[in-house]
Amino acid sequence: MSEGNLKDPIVEQGDEEIRQLQRSMEVLRLKLQESLAMREKIDENRQMLVSSISHDLKTPITSIRGYVEGLLDGVADTPEKQRKYLETISRKAGQLDKMIDDLVFYSRLELDQVPYHFVWTDPVLFLSELVEDARELFGHEGIALDWENQLKESCWIRIDRAQMQRVLANLFDNARKYRKGHQDHVTVTLRDKQEHIIIDIADTGIGIPPESLPYLFDRFFRADSARSKAEGSGLGLAIARQIVEDHKGSIWVRSKEQAGTTFSIALKKEAAWEHKED
């Protein structure tokens, strides 16, 4: 063990005191082995994370450099072209900023360094405010956004409002990015399921291939060529899943190509008549 050999088990033999010592040493060996395996997994994940984000960062950086060189070389020779180039540079810089923010936040999630501030919340009020805030943005892009409360009775959920808002904002953003482009519609539904509430976010967009659904919440995964061209860090759904699971909830997806996608979130509820103190 002192030389790093943790594969061979310690066999108990001898009198009871020696066997107790050997038993303790075997427990120590197993814990060290588990710790080493965890460290190797963390190192492997870190290498994959760096490799993936480096690849994704190159795309907007290359685009920014191209447009900057176009401005310096005089390719954009009219005020209209110059403005278009500058707007593209600004958009790509914003994309880079969002990617870096997602990377930092995801790293903090993995290291369990995100502080949660759980408070009892009325889900109807919480969702109605989010939908109302998002409706104007959807409307500017020609997407109808509606919501429906199907709860049979009032209830409470215990959530970190800011982090759950991050989750729902990401799902709203997906619905906007992967729309078909004409007569799109997004519906948010709040419903009961035994001891949980279910939040459904259903769109009428391009959908997701069935073979991609099991991997959709993996970091940096994009389902197809249409999604791989979309701007983003590729971490949004991985972050959403981690936050929901940290709330002791679950998130899943159903989709059909060219028919739309529905993301669902389940959170444990409590009866509204119970007295709640944060």
Which of these ranges, 19-23, 37-41, 104-108, 204-208, has the smallest mean pLDDT?
Answer: 37-41
Give the contacts of 157 (CB within 8 A, at least 6 positions apart). 120, 121, 123, 126, 197, 267, 268, 269, 270
Which of these ranges, 11-15, 176-180, 249-253, has the smallest mean pLDDT?
Answer: 11-15
Domain final position from 92, 114, 136: 114
> Do residues 177 and 204 lie in contact, with contact meaning Cβ atoms separated by under 8 Å?
no
Q: Residue 254 — very low, low, confident or very high, per pLDDT cuts 50/70/90? A: very high
Residue 230 burial (CB count, 10 A): 12
pLDDT of residue 126: 95
| Helix 16-72 / helix 79-110 crossing angle, nearest 10 deg | 180
Considering the domain architecture, whether residues 143 and 41 belong to the same structural domain is answered as no
CATH number at 229 reads 3.30.565.10
48 lies in which domain range?
1-114
Considering the domain architecture, whether residues 170 and 252 belong to the same structural domain is answered as yes
| Tens digit of each residue's pLDDT (9 = 90 or more) over 57-84 | 777 888 899 999 999 988 888 999 999 9
Examine residue 276 and state whether it is found in any structural domain, yes or no: no
267 has a pLDDT exceeding 70: yes
Considering the domain architecture, whether residues 50 and 170 belong to the same structural domain is answered as no
> Do residues 168 and 159 lie in contact, with contact meaning Cβ atoms separated by under 8 Å?
no
> Do residues 236 and 173 lie in contact, with contact meaning Cβ atoms separated by under 8 Å?
yes
Domain final position from 91, 114, 137: 114
Global model pTM greater than 0.85: no
Q: Rounded to 5 degrees, what angle do the CA atoms 224, 205, 216 make?
A: 40
Residue 8 burial (CB count, 10 A): 8
Examine residue 256 and state whether it is found in any structural domain, yes or no: yes
Token duo for residue 205: 């967009």
pLDDT of residue 227: 44
Domain final position from 85, 114, 143: 114
User: What distance in Å separates the CA atoms of residue 234 and residue 236, rounded to the nearest whole number?
Assistant: 6
> When comparing pLDDT for 97 and 111, which is higher?
97
pLDDT of residue 58: 79
CATH number at 15 reads 1.10.287.130
271 has a pLDDT exceeding 80: no
What percentage of the chain reaches a pLDDT higher than 70? Answer: 85
User: What distance in Å separates the CA atoms of residue 209 and residue 200, rounded to the nearest whole number?
Assistant: 20
| Tens digit of each residue's pLDDT (9 = 90 or more) over 200-250 | 999 998 888 888 888 888 866 655 444 444 555 578 898 999 999 999 999
pLDDT of residue 223: 53
Quote the number of domains for the chain.
Answer: 2
